[in-house]
């Protein structure tokens, strides 16, 4: 059984990783995972309550300041306590250095100041060392103790004071990013007003059945997807799609859960369960977005496990070389300690995952749900985006232009038979035909949907096929066959989305080519391609042919994305380097197979995804290069004796804070705004 909990008070990603490794060693606990930037703990256990108690006890031993809780108050109390303790420790340290006092008082206050400034660091270093784990807490502890031994008392206190201050600032920065992302989870509707006769009953959205009538008043969130049966209002969908301009909704309009009704009262007939509604899908995708790590993030995570041990070994070598060359044990010890301080891996360990987390959060706020930092990275490298036509570049709101029955059949009969076959399909053509048919749709037998071809079924002892067999037809149409004999065909027309042409233009401006892949006739596909500005056109393709096209692109070392919304798009979405699914309420198979889900049907969000991914990746490499250059420079200066321990700790804390603040820029980047360098 999977169990989720909040874990508060962890102040570094390495601490979280070490605790996670120890939790996974507990009996009865499997697949434990701590997401540092999300304050979340997930684990599997057959006895979750007993396992949770074991985890709480272990957490108290290894990370005494951390708590497993559902509230954030403890975290705020910890922050206030840390600031007060740091202030008292600094005050005592200043007192002993500037006020004359006897040796016993000096040493008493010195030890007290050192303990107040870093007791958490020392405790974690000792606890983890007993378990065979070496991390940055041990580096700092050795530095403070070593500085005290060689009588560099002020430097020792400054090391731990600046380190602790840096951890507080890191916590504040990460907390800000966490709160920005967690605000997405607060879009979950807390109640639904269900109309029962003349009464309105307030209940949990999770228990509302499909077909119920719910009432949504001004200021309330739409709890479940549905169709408006009465009323009209402006609806704020910013939390869903990132669009700041409210949209007008009236009778017979579809409405997604999570939107806020601004100025009217709506009666809505629910079309899904809460678990299958838009807001539930969004929350699930956002909560699981950090599970799929990029190669960069995974590499940083792996290397920091051995980094600290390597640093200790290098520090010993520096100490030995300096002692051998200069013959000064104290100076050798000082340079070795400085080497330890500079080499703390915090800047790498926290800034890289935080940058990706911020990028994922920014995309979510803009209505682009990316399933992991690996897909965020892949999106930044796209060279081509291949679009499906219907429902992607076009609205998918088809209108019947003409019904052509064969001899012996009427238009009404042809429409009825086609609607019988299409009644369970999510394809836009099927929706338009079913909506146009006013007759009762009876149940059919032995229904089988053939991806990219049509639907087979049995009705009144006859076998029917609804789809398209004649590929020479120029118009968009659906044919119906009875026992392999043509009964008639329905011709439909579609309109191009207003954003499609601008989407293709913007992709071209940022160096991404566009292609159009469709199963429709060459004439209709070419017409759409010309209207939106796509030169690479492929028509009359079956799903397997689209799949082969994308495979060939990948074989030629071309990074390609695919955009689609139907069940027949699932194979193409899966094989592409990045699969974009259009619409949170599209075919479940396409959402499952895709890597990125566009909440609404706006193709411009493809450009948004590419821009955010490139900006985030740029920040990640800025952090890596900045941290590496500053640390290597400081290591050289410390090694040759041109930098003190104070400079060493400033270099470590300073670069960490710079990297963290830089990472947060990914959260506030506006892809549609002025170009930023």
Beta-strand ranges (E) seen in 518-663 are 536-538, 560-564, 578-582, 596-598
The owner of tokens 């962890």 is 10
Q: Which spans in 194-258 are helix H?
A: 238-241
Instruction: Give the pLDDT confidence score for residue 384 in this predicted structure.
Output: 95
Give me the phi and psi of 245, to 5 degrees please. -90, 120
Tell me the C-alpha distance between 656 and 170, whole Å: 8
Walking along the chain (677 residues) 10 residues at a time, the average pLDDT comes out as 77 73 88 76 85 87 74 60 90 90 92 92 84 75 80 81 78 65 63 91 91 92 92 83 79 87 92 83 65 61 66 83 86 81 72 83 86 88 92 84 90 92 80 87 87 84 88 78 92 87 94 91 87 91 88 91 83 90 76 85 92 94 89 84 77 82 88 51
Beta-strand ranges (E) seen in 266-418 are 266-270, 368-370, 384-387, 399-405
Give Cα 354 distance to the centre of its chain.
Answer: 12
Beta-strand ranges (E) seen in 127-244 are 192-196, 199-203, 213-216, 226-230, 233-236
CB atoms within 10 A of CB 164: 24
Tell me the C-alpha distance between 75 and 213, whole Å: 42
Contacts (Cβ under 8 Å, ≥6 apart) of 42: 2, 3, 4, 5, 31, 32, 33, 35
Tell me the C-alpha distance between 150 and 141, whole Å: 14
Tell me the C-alpha distance between 563 and 593, whole Å: 11
Contacts (Cβ under 8 Å, ≥6 apart) of 10: 16, 19, 34, 36, 39, 63, 66
Q: Are 373 and 290 in contact (CB under 8 A)?
A: yes
Buried/exposed 360-396: b ≥16 CB within 10 Å, e otherwise: bbbbbbbbbbbbbbbbbbbbbebebbbbbbbbbbbbb
Please give the domain boundaries of the chain with CATH numbers for all domains.
2-71 (3.30.70.100), 192-284 (2.70.150.10), 399-493 (3.40.1110.10)
The three-class DSSP label of residue 385 is strand
- Could you give the residue numbers annotated as active site? 388
Instruction: Give the pLDDT confidence score for residue 275 in this predicted structure.
Output: 83
The three-class DSSP label of residue 479 is strand
CA dihedral 539, 543, 547, 552 (to 10 degrees): -30
Tell me the C-alpha distance between 348 and 306, whole Å: 13
Give me the phi and psi of 193, to 5 degrees please. -95, 105
The three-class DSSP label of residue 280 is helix
Contacts (Cβ under 8 Å, ≥6 apart) of 58: 19, 22, 23, 26
Instruction: Give the pLDDT confidence score for residue 266 in this predicted structure.
Output: 94
Contacts (Cβ under 8 Å, ≥6 apart) of 256: 222, 225, 237, 240, 277, 278, 279, 584, 585
CB atoms within 10 A of CB 40: 15
CA dihedral 200, 202, 206, 212 (to 10 degrees): 0
Instruction: Give the pLDDT confidence score for residue 396 in this predicted structure.
Output: 75
């Amino acid at each position: 059984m999977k169990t989720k909990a909040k874990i508060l008070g962890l102040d570094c990603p390495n601490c979280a990783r070490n605790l996670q490794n120890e939790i996974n060693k507990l009996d009865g606990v499997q697949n434990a995972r701590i997401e540092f930037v999300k304050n979340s703990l997930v684990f599997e256990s057959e006895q979750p309550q007993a396992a949770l108690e074991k985890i709480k006890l272990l957490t108290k031993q290894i990370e005494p300041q951390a708590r497993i809780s559902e509230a954030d108050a403890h975290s705020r109390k910890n922050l206030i306590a840390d600031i007060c303790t740091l202030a008292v420790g600094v005050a005592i340290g200043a007192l002993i250095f500037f006020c004359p006092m006897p040796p016993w008082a000096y040493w008493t206050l010195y030890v007290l100041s050192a303990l107040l400034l870093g007791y958490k660091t020392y405790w974690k270093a000792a606890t983890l060392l007993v378990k065979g784990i070496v991390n940055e807490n041990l580096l700092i502890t050795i530095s403070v103790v070593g500085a005290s031994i060689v009588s560099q008392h002020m430097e020792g206190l400054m090391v731990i004071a600046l380190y602790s201050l840096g951890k507080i600032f890191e916590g504040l920065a990460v907390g800000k990013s966490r709160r920005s992302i967690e605000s997405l989870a607060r879009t979950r509707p807390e109640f639904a007003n269900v109309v029962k006769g003349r009464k309105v009953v307030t209940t949990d959205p999770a228990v509302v059945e499909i077909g119920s009538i719910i009432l949504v008043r001004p200021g309330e969130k739409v709890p479940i997807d549905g169709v408006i049966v009465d009323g009209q209002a402006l609806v704020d969908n910013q939390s869903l799609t990132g669009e700041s301009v409210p949209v007008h909704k009236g009778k017979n309009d579809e409405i997604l859960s999570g939107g806020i009704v601004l100025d009217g009262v709506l009666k809505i007939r629910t079309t899904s369960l809460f678990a299958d509604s838009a807001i539930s899908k969004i929350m699930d995708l956002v909560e699981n977005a950090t599970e799929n790590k990029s190669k960069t993030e995974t590499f940083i995570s792996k290397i920091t496990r051995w980094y600290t041990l390597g640093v200790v070994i290098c520090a010993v070598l520096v100490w030995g070389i300096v002692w051998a060359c200069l013959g000064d044990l104290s100076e050798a010890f000082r340079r070795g300690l400085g080497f330890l301080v500079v080499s703390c891996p915090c800047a790498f360990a926290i800034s890289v995952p935080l940058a990706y987390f911020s990028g994922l959060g920014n995309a979510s706020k803009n209505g682009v749900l990316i399933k992991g930092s690996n897909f965020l990275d892949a999106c930044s490298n796209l060279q081509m985006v291949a679009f499906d036509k219907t429902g992607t570049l076009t609205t998918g709101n088809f209108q019947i232009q003409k019904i052509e029955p064969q001899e012996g059949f009427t238009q009404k009969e042809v429409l009825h038979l086609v609607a019988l076959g299409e009644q369970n399909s999510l394809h836009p053509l099927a929706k338009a035909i079913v909506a146009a048919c006013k007759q009762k749709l009876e149940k059919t037998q032995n229904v089988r949907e053939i991806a990219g071809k049509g639907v087979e079924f049995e009705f009144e002892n006859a076998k029917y096929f609804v789809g398209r067999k004649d590929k020479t037809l120029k118009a968009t149409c659906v044919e119906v066959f009875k026992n392999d004999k043509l009964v008639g065909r329905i011709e439909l027309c579609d309109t191009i989305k207003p954003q499609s042409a601008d989407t293709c233009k913007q992709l071209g401006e940022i160096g991404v080519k566009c292609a159009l892949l469709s199963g429709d006739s060459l004439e209709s596909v070419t017409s759409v391609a010309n209207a939106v500005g796509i030169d690479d056109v492929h028509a009359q393709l079956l799903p397997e042919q689209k799949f082969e096209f994308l495979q060939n692109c990948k074989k030629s070392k071309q990074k390609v994305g695919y955009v689609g919304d139907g069940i027949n798009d699932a194979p193409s979405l899966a094989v592409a380097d990045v699969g974009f699914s259009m619409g949170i309420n599209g075919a479940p198979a396409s959402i499952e197979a895709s890597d990125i889900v566009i909440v609404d049907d706006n193709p411009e969000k493809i450009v948004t995804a590419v821009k955010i991914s490139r900006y985030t990746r740029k920040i990640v490499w800025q952090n890596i290069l900045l941290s590496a250059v500053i640390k290597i420079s400081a290591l050289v200066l410390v090694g040759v004796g041109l930098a003190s321990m104070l400079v060493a700790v400033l270099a470590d804390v300073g670069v960490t804070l710079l990297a963290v603040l830089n990472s947060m820029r990914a959260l506030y980047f506006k892809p549609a705004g002025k170009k930023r360098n």
